[in-house]
Chain A
Amino acid sequence: MKYEKKKQSLLVELEGEFNLDAVRKISEVLGEQEELVIDLSRSAFVDSNAIVFIHRLMEKGTGIQLENPPEIFYEVIQILGLHQKWDLNRLVKP
């Protein structure tokens, strides 16, 4: 995982899946940053641990942006019912 801290933002580029391992690595470096941007261009999937992690951060008020999430990401949030709650237009960077 590559990351860069910029003022109040943490920019993360994942080299593999957005899974529990990635969640823990991001948590270690996140600190008090107010914004988290994750590039998922190289992730084949985003698992439920990652989805719950995003959800909890959003509930805490952390601003999150996802870049290039894989297709399956949308299906997983639908399975977990979060498509009803999340503002995908804000979450996913166009």
Chain B
Amino acid sequence: MEAHHYLEMRLGMIEPETDFTRRWCVNMGLPLNDSVRMSLAVDEILNDILLHAYKEQQGYVEIWYQYSLSGIEIVIQEMGEPFDPQRHSFSVEKALNEGDFEGAGLEVARRMVDHFLFLNRGKGGKEFRLVSQLDFSHVKEEAQNEVIDVVTGVRAGEEPSDESETEYRLYSVTSSDAEDISRLIYKTYGYSYSKEDLYFPRRIELAVRHGYKFGTIARTKNGFPVGYFAVIRNSDSPIGEIGEAVVSPEHRKKGLMKKMLDQLIEMSRRRGLMGIYGMALTVHTISQKVNETFGFRSTALMLAKSPPSVYKGIREDYPQPVSLLLDFLPLTGQWDRPVWLPNRYEPIIIDLYNQFDNHPVFVSLPEQIEKDRSDTRMHLDIQYESNTALIVVERYGDSFETSSLQMFRSIAELNLTSVYIDIPLDHPWAEHAVEWLKKKRFLFAGLMPMFHGERDYLRMQSIEADLDFGQIETLTSIAGKLKKLIKKEYDEIREKETVTTGRTGR
């Protein structure tokens, strides 16, 4: 239920848009007060664009309404006159003493939301990002409102689960299971589970109701919840992440996880998903082993993907941001689009593909690679929680290099830990894109099968964090191979930077 509006910038268009903003936010689960705040922020930004960027002349804005499990984000893009908000900041003193209210609109917008971001993308225009978090009550707060044992997760009058129980029934998760799921997570992991959303029943309820996740819940004969496994759908491709799994300790080693996964794979197939994937921690190899057992294969290693604090269960002394392995399981034999493999990474990409029974046709690079003469299209996704960003190239186009540079500049001041860029492999220009990105401090991350619009992508990454690769543990030989290649490139960049006076690139 995401929305994308293309709006002619006229005064009469602003109120219908802010009406939509408020209703959409309410519909997506934001409380009314927060929805009003978000619509006021949108009003302020649109007025600023109308008055200052377009000076009430003809112009257009694009607005994206995006939902995630923890919040909603509204992205407003415009192509009006250049503008630097830092040079037009609001001052209470100036307002009171001189009647000068310059910057008032942006100040109000900034204060209405949890995150406010302005990105200047040069010729790519300017972008405002407004984020409001879904701030619902925690499962523990809900437990306090009824007589419940927070250790066992059992309500007053409810029978505890029987350890000798071996008969389980699996059900598709519905929004009414949300509270049981939160309680199961809390009972099993305390506060150490990495996906914080699962401690908020209302977030689960909304995500299930809106179809962003689906899953299976295992119950004993008497209906007691003992297991949960879910897939979170990708918003831009028919694949999903297996990101949430729990089995109550007393019901482990009874094949429940396998039964739930089998059902989940079947549910994913029925919903038309082409593949599912898991993000395995490299702090240890436990989750990699689970994925490997279930047939997932490692295709990429994302360095410094999340701060250690996100994973409450891991070693407290872990000294660096956590790197993650992408483990992929294709659910279809159809790999329709041929791919062009960049020379530099051809051997490793072939190894990655060869782990699967099927893979796309590999096409030889032509001697002369024609550039696509249409517009470059790329999309930016900022992960506020992990302080990282992903740029997805939808079309290389004529201005790939300049558009990329503008994108890098626009996010430079955010001081992100890692920036990832996904480039499509179904165009031979991938060869030049890789070589150009290499000169801009990017290094290999791996293969992202079917990741955007059903297309295969190659992911590259630019890492600001200092990493000790000895802290990154891998289980399989292919994951080890990925790590070795990535470490080599990482070391080369670091070495180059120590012999030059400053960093190159971004």
Contact = CB atoms under 8 A, between A and B. Distances in A.
Contacts of B33: 71-72
A55 B47 CA distance: 18
Given A76-B108, A80-B107, A45 B14 contact: no
Contacts of B40: 44-45, 47, 72, 76
A93 interface: no
B101 A80 contact: yes
Contacts of A82: 95-96
B7 to A, nearest CB: 15
B39 A48 contact: no
Contacts of B15: 16-17, 19, 21
B12 A21 contact: yes
Contacts of A16: 15, 19
Interface residues of B, number: 28
Given A19-B15, A21-B14, A82-B95, A48 B101 contact: yes
A44 B96 CA distance: 26
A14 B33 CA distance: 20
Given A17-B18, A81-B96, A44 B47 contact: no
A84 interface: yes
A48 B95 contact: no
A59 B39 CA distance: 29
A28 to B, nearest CB: 13
A7 interface: no
A47 B105 contact: yes
A37 to B, nearest CB: 22
Contacts of A45: 36, 39-40, 43
Contacts of A49: 47, 105
A59 B18 CA distance: 30
Highest count of chain A CB atoms <10 Å: which of B19, B39, B96, B108: B108
B14 A19 contact: yes
Contacts of A20: 11, 14, 47, 50-51
Contact of A48 (B19, B37, B50, B104): B104
A10 to B, nearest CB: 21
B36 A56 contact: no
A87 B388 CA distance: 46
Contact of B36 (A19, A51, A72): A72
A54 to B, nearest CB: 12
B99 interface: yes
A29 interface: no
Interface residues on A, range: 20 to 34
A47 B11 contact: no
Contacts of B51: 20
Given A21-B14, A21-B15, A81 B47 contact: no
A5 interface: no
B496 interface: no
Interface in B99-121: 99, 101, 104-105, 107-108, 111
Contacts of B19: 16
Nearest to A24: B11
Contacts of B47: 19-20, 47, 49
A2 interface: no
Interface string A6-48: 0000000000110111001000000000000000000011011
Nearest to A84: B96
Interface in A48-70: 48-49, 51-52, 55-56, 59, 70
B43 A79 contact: no
Interface string B281-316: 000000000000000000000000000000000000
19 contacts: A16-B19, A17-B18, A20-B47, A20-B51, A21-B11, A44-B36, A44-B39, A47-B43, A47-B108, A48-B107, A52-B104, A55-B101, A70-B36, A72-B37, A75-B111, A80-B92, A80-B104, A81-B92, A85-B96
Given A59-B99, A85-B96, 6 more contacts: A17-B15, A20-B47, A48-B101, A52-B101, A79-B108, A81-B92
Interface of A: 16-17, 19-21, 24, 44-45, 47-49, 51-52, 55-56, 59, 70-72, 75-76, 79-82, 84-85
